Amino acid sequence: MTDRSVPVPSGGGSVLPSPDEQVRRTVLDNGLRVVTDRLPTSRSVAASVWVGVGGRDESDEMSGASHFLEHLLFKGTDERDAKSIAVAIDGIGGDMNAFTANEHTAFYARMPAVEAHVGIDLLLDVVQNPALRDWEFDGEREVILEELAAAEDDPDDVSSVKLFERLFPDHPLGREVLGSIESIDGLTRDAVRDFFGEWYTPANLVVAAAGDIDHDLLVDEVDRRFGDRSPGPVPTRTEPDDRLGESSVEVRPIEVVHLAMGWRALAVDDDGRYALALLNHVFGSGPSSRLFQEVREERGLTYSISSAVSHHVDTGAVSVHCATAPGKVDDLIAVVDTILDDVVSHGISREELARAKGSLRGAYLMSYEDVGTRMTRLGMSETMRGGLTPIDEHLARLEAVTDDEVQRVAEQVLGSARVMSSVGPR
């Protein structure tokens, strides 16, 4: 195995140590990666296992398999049932959970540092030895079908799902990560077990932890459990083509219209992502953004409106979400279009850029007071980019963005073709 510390800048003479000073990374001989961020003064530990496989890595028939496994792994292992797992983590005041995305599935736990061995043992056990019993499979299928039904009843969720179907037509990125009623009904235990066996292998696994954690002890434990396994395959992904779908209108007898707008954007390692983050902050992320101030505060056209950026290994998206009364839809879209035209044509002001840099810098630094955020940063970066960008470097790259770069990204992303989705009475 190889072991190295993440290289970090000197900090420009700062008397404070680098925030990445205690980050360590080890790669087992079979490719499994262990990344830790030690905080000796922390009273807690956040640990996680990231699987580099998600919704886009499933066939149409297997759609929803990753999310199904997210549920099933907590139902029991060879030696524990679901109640034993819940009792063990609750008995130390900790918690365990998981989530599924397009390109990864993550299982995580947080617990007091003095009980970290208990939580880590549980976490590794559910990923290493899930029982996947027949009766648990059938019962969890019903739970997931209820989850799908609840999502279908939420017009905000539906407008978002329809938007991404149109942004990435006939591509796995356009599918609902939960799967569909048809695909979940059609999944068999053997098919899901085979999916687990094929993809939950060392080449796709990252173990990440932050807090008062001993890196070497964690590596030894992970190596003991997974070190003799073969690396296994990694998913091969097809980049979506340039096609966009038609905008979607779904009529429902509800009080307001839920709107979503979207544009194709940048991949996770694109150098323009720093400019895009700053552009998004000025455009629609937060209460000082143009969208919130002009659409909500000045004109009262919606209770809330915001934009968000999502990145994938080969593409990305910017989306805007809001809800408004049927009679205000045209006015709202007209105001959004005016804001878009101005941003694409003229970019943002230097004052807006400076404020965005200050906001993102402050939020970024304050978030790393939390061990859960530090753990997520390690796991996400290693899984999506294959390595960690040091905090000092990340902040320096944000600070170096110019207003010309922001305008170029605005032209590239927000100046491209847009798709829309609406759910409501109009």
Q: Are residues 344 and 198 in the same domain?
A: no
Confidence of residue 375 (pLDDT cuts 50, 70, 90): very high
Q: Are residues 151 and 38 in the same domain?
A: yes
In-domain check, residue 29: yes
pLDDT value at position 5? Answer: 53
Kindly list the strands in the beta sheet with 316-324, ordered across the sheet, starting from the edge strand earlier in the chain. 248-251, 419-424, 257-265, 316-324, 305-311
DSSP state of 47: E
Residue-wise pLDDT tens digits, 30-51:
999 999 999 999 999 999 999 9
Collapse the DSSP code of 255 into the 3-class scheme (helix H, G, I; strand E, B; otherwise coil) and give the result: coil
Please say whether the beta carbons of 208 and 120 come within 8 A: no
Please say whether the beta carbons of 68 and 62 come within 8 A: no
Residue-wise pLDDT tens digits, 77-104:
988 999 999 999 999 999 999 999 999 9
In-domain check, residue 237: no
In-domain check, residue 242: no
Long-range contacts formed by 329-335: CB under 8 A, 24+ apart: 329/257, 329/259, 329/422, 329/426, 331/299, 331/301, 332/259, 332/295, 332/301, 332/302, 333/259, 335/294, 335/295, 335/299, 335/301
DSSP state letters, 152-168? HH-HHHHHHHHHHHHHS
Q: How many domains does the chain have?
A: 2
- Domain closes at, from 162, 195, 226: 226
The answer, yes or no, to whether residue 146 has pLDDT greater than 50, is yes
Q: Are residues 116 and 205 in the same domain?
A: yes
Lowest mean pLDDT among 4-13, 146-155, 165-174: 4-13
Confidence of residue 286 (pLDDT cuts 50, 70, 90): confident
Q: Are residues 180 and 262 in the same domain?
A: no
pLDDT value at position 1? Answer: 67
In-domain check, residue 236: no
Please say whether the beta carbons of 122 and 90 come within 8 A: no
- Domain closes at, from 163, 195, 226: 226
Q: Are residues 254 and 166 in the same domain?
A: no
Overall average pLDDT of the 269-286 stretch? 97
Q: Are residues 154 and 22 in the same domain?
A: yes
Residue-wise pLDDT tens digits, 191-222:
999 999 999 999 999 999 999 999 999 999 99
d(Cα 49, Cα 197) in Å, to the nearest integer? 16
Q: Are residues 220 and 258 in the same domain?
A: no
Give the residue carrying structure tokens 């978030």.
367
Residue 165 a catalytic site member: no
DSSP state letters, 57-68? GS-STTTTHHHH
- Domain closes at, from 226, 259, 288: 226
The percentage of the chain sitting over the pLDDT mark of 70, rounded to a whole number, equals 96
Confidence of residue 15 (pLDDT cuts 50, 70, 90): low
End-to-end CA distance of the chain: 60
Pairing of strands 205-211, 33-38: parallel
The rounded mean pLDDT for the chain is 95
d(Cα 186, Cα 85) in Å, to the nearest integer? 29
Residue-wise pLDDT tens digits, 160-170:
999 999 999 99
pLDDT value at position 3? Answer: 61
pLDDT value at position 21? Answer: 86
Collapse the DSSP code of 16 into the 3-class scheme (helix H, G, I; strand E, B; otherwise coil) and give the result: coil
Residue-wise pLDDT tens digits, 123-143:
999 999 999 999 899 999 999
Give the residue carrying structure tokens 């459990």.
225
Residue-wise pLDDT tens digits, 171-184:
999 999 999 999 99
Q: Which of 21, 58, 61, 70 is catalytic?
A: 70
In-domain check, residue 265: yes
Residue-wise pLDDT tens digits, 319-354:
999 999 999 999 999 999 999 999 999 999 999 999
Tokens of 41: 């003064």
Q: Are residues 183 and 327 in the same domain?
A: no
pLDDT value at position 16? Answer: 61
In-domain check, residue 216: yes
User: 29 lies in which domain range?
Assistant: 2-10+18-226
pLDDT value at position 10? Answer: 43
3-state helix/strand/coil string of 113-131: HHHHHHHHHHHHHHHHCEC
Q: Are residues 187 and 316 in the same domain?
A: no
DSSP state letters, 209-237? EEES--HHHHHHHHHHHHTTS--------
Q: Are residues 95 and 155 in the same domain?
A: yes
The percentage of the chain sitting over the pLDDT mark of 90, rounded to a whole number, equals 92
Please say whether the beta carbons of 138 and 75 come within 8 A: no
d(Cα 387, Cα 395) in Å, to the nearest integer? 17
pLDDT value at position 11? Answer: 44
Q: Are residues 285 and 202 in the same domain?
A: no
The answer, yes or no, to whether residue 12 has pLDDT greater than 60, is no
How far is CA 106 from each of CA 207, 208, 227, 266, rounded to the nearest angstrom?
10, 10, 20, 23
In-domain check, residue 199: yes
DSSP state of 93: T
Residue 378: CB partners within 8 Å, gap ≥ 6? 23, 35, 36, 37, 208, 209, 210, 388
Give the residue carrying structure tokens 């990753």.
66
Q: Are residues 142 and 215 in the same domain?
A: yes
Overall average pLDDT of the 381-406 stretch? 95
Residues 21/31/383/7 CA torsion (nearest 10 deg): 20
pLDDT value at position 20? Answer: 84
CATH number at residue 68: 3.30.830.10
Task: Count the residues in the chain.
Answer: 426
In-domain check, residue 243: no
CA 351-354-359 angle, 5° bins: 125
Confidence of residue 19 (pLDDT cuts 50, 70, 90): confident
Instruction: Give the H or E element holding residue 326.
Output: none
Residue 315: CB partners within 8 Å, gap ≥ 6? 168, 173, 239, 240, 264, 265, 266, 267
Query: 191 exposed, middle or buried (CB, 10 Å; 0-12, 13-18, 19+)?
Result: middle
